Structure 1
Amino acid sequence: MSDMFTLYSAAGSGGVAVEAALTILDLPYRVVEMGTWFDPEAAEAIAAVNPMRQVPALVLPDGTLMTESAAILIWLAETYPAGRLGAAPGDPGRPAFLRWMTFVSAAVYSLFWIRDKPERLVDGEAAAAQINARTKARIAECWSVLDAGLTPGAYLLGDELSVLDLYVAVISRWAEKGRSRFYRAAPKLADGIRRVDADPRLAALWAERFPFTPGWEGV
């Protein structure tokens, strides 16, 4: 049995948060590039792995398949506790850890499926524009809820990096104007997320998989 993880992912996608966790944990993995949201062939190809035709999908060394980014990140944090990337079962911080990981997945991440392609749900340019505007507003509102619900230290859940930080660091970059709206909606969280951006262990990963191009944060 190989000790290698296989991750179906794409540059700039939610899979990059999983890549970041695997990197921090120093686990061996290979990436199968699948830009499913812009490449119909990739979407069909990954259907054999994930019927939702989405990334990320993680194949464990024993062949077990995992999908859903939050589930993968929680599992990695729990399975490799020496990495200290999440509150373990029995830890007083566990309820908050699970609450906010699930919140980001359900309340924020899921809205990008709608925002990016409103035509999945509605017809016509006017309806699409309305959906786009309202999902952007809802995403900002959810970031504000996260901001209000946390008392961050160096990172979102305290003074230790967690997979929640990696998750938010990636998802908060998907706005059309960079992170500017995230910073306005969640000002308490900005320093911690910038700390993730600057983590030297992730420098090569960010450069390859989600580069910080000039002006990326927005205005």
Structure 2
Amino acid sequence: MLIRRQTIMYKLYWERLSGAIAPQVLLEEIDADYRKVHVNMAANEHREPAFRRVNPVMRVPALELPDGTVIGETSAITLVLGEQNPQTRLVPMPEEADRPAFLFWLAAMAANGYPIFSRVWHPEQFTIDGVPSESVRLCAEQHLEEFFSVMEQSIAGAPFFLPRGFTALDIYLTMLTEWSADRAALFKSNPRIEALCAAVMERPSYRTVISEHMNGPLKAAD
């Protein structure tokens, strides 16, 4: 989804503790000039015509680039910001040897980790009658346990995911752990993930962003 407008800075459409965490951390890392536009999901603003013109799939985050292009999806925003700012080394460039590994794991986190949390926190969205299903939730929690176990075994750096050091993968994975119902238990079972997240959470960019998300407007069930 690409829409062009005229603008002079980045504009991030966000909601508290949503997938906007990672893009906002990236914006902080690249020292970008940006402003945030809160999308009140409790009031269903993400479903209103004004926001649908920004992002037709009605999800946050969405990011308006300085040239007016608007993109959605956390993983897509991650790639664009990293590729437009190669000096940060947050995303390997096409000619770099670890580019395929980066793309694989970013896609794996986006496709196999991120969506599971919807079933954990909103199981009613996965039933015909809209009634929360304990079976759906428990199955999702099992899938999350398996997902994080795979991530734990696949960390190739120390403490970061890739041997090159800190990248957008580390931001993305740390964001996913923020949504865990029992983060302490997650870390106890996955010490390498715990070490990775601890290193990410020490960065000023992450501390700034997560503080805003913890204390900002409440995120609604979607």
**TM-score range relative to shorter protein:** 0.7 to 0.9
What's the CA shift string for 1:94-147, capped at 9, x where partnerless? 111001100000001012223222221215698611101111110121111122
Deviation sequence 1:69-100 (CA, Å, 0-9, x none): 01110111111100110211121111110011
TM-score, normalization: structure 2? 0.86
Identity of paired residues, percent?
28
SS in 2 for 1:47: helix
User: Could you list the per-position Cα deviations for residues 3-33 of structure 1 after superposition, in whole angstroms to 9, with x for gaps in the alignment?
Assistant: 4011111121110110000000001111111
CA distance in 1, matches of 2:46, 2:130: 27
2:198 maps to which of 194, 197, 204: 194
1:41 to 35, 45, 53: 45
Please list every run of at least 4 consecutive aligned residues from structure 1 whose deviation after the TM superposition is greater than 6 angstroms.
Answer: 124-127
The residue identity in structure 2 corresponding to 1:190 is E
Alignment-derived partner of residue 207 in structure 2 = 203
Q: Is the 8 A contact 1:152 1:188 kept in 2?
A: no
1:96 aligned onto 2:101: yes
How many angstroms apart in 1 are the aligned matches of 2:210 and 2:57? 26
Q: Helix, strand or coil for the counterpart of 2:54?
A: coil
Partner Cα distance (1:99, 1:74) in 2: 12
What residue in structure 2 maps to residue 30 of structure 1? Answer: 35
Q: Comparing both chains, which one has the higher relative contact order based on Cα–Cα distances under 8 Å and sequence gaps of 6 or more?
A: 2
Note the 1:57-206 alignment, pairs <5 A.
Answer: 57-123=62-128, 128-177=133-182, 179-206=183-210
Query: Structure 1: how far apart are the matches of 2:89 and 2:110?
Result: 21
Specify whether residues 125 and 32 from structure 1 end up closer, same or farther in structure 2 by C-alpha distance, changes over 3 A only. closer
Aligned residues: 209
Once the 2 structures are TM-superposed, how far is the Cα of residue 150 of structure 1 from its aligned partner? 2.4
